[in-house]
Amino acid sequence: MKIKIEVDTGTDGDSWIKDVALNIDIFRPEYCGYWARGIAYDTLRGWLVCVDDESDDANGDLLDSVALNAWRGGGDLPRGFYRFDHALAVRALAEGVRRHGDRFPVNYDGDSADVAVQRALFGEVRYA
């Protein structure tokens, strides 16, 4: 059975998306920074994110460049790179609300935001 969840972000949710999920602070170590690295940001595209242990470290800078070009052009990203855009931020907000209730946008911490982002991005928690 599939269940469709509709999220009305409201004022608190919109603030969480803008001030937490799509802010550079999401990459602080107490949030997602211990597993994710923000490569580039654009107001329309959101973040290009690299998960270092999934990408090819041997070609680090070259791979970042290839990923950046693909991200800018809307193409497929190399393994270990992800788009963290507004749609993903809304899914992360929905995950947070589903797990912690409707006060999540104002009563979150680094751990709960991290789990919400991982569940939205991967469908599971991969890093702890």
Tell which residue, 32, 14, 30, 126, has the closest CA to residue 84.
Answer: 32
pLDDT in tens, 51-60: 977 766 555 6
The residue type of 85 is D
Would you say residue 4 lies in a domain?
Answer: no
Structural domain boundaries, residue 35: 10-122
pLDDT in tens, 100-123: 998 898 889 999 999 999 999 999
**Tokens describing residue 51:** 């998960």
- pLDDT at residue 21, rounded to an integer: 79
Would you say residue 85 lies in a domain?
Answer: yes
* Sites in the chain below the pLDDT cut of 50: none
- pLDDT at residue 115, rounded to an integer: 96
Would you say residue 127 lies in a domain?
Answer: no
Query: Residue 57 pairs with which residues in a beta bridge?
Result: none
Burial of 1 (0-12, 13-18, 19+ CB in 10 A): exposed
Would you say residue 98 lies in a domain?
Answer: yes
Would you say residue 1 lies in a domain?
Answer: no
- pLDDT at residue 8, rounded to an integer: 55
- pLDDT at residue 18, rounded to an integer: 86
Would you say residue 22 lies in a domain?
Answer: yes
Global pTM? 0.84
Would you say residue 38 lies in a domain?
Answer: yes
Q: How many domains are there within the chain?
A: 1
**Tokens describing residue 117:** 């982002």
- pLDDT at residue 41, rounded to an integer: 95
Would you say residue 128 lies in a domain?
Answer: no
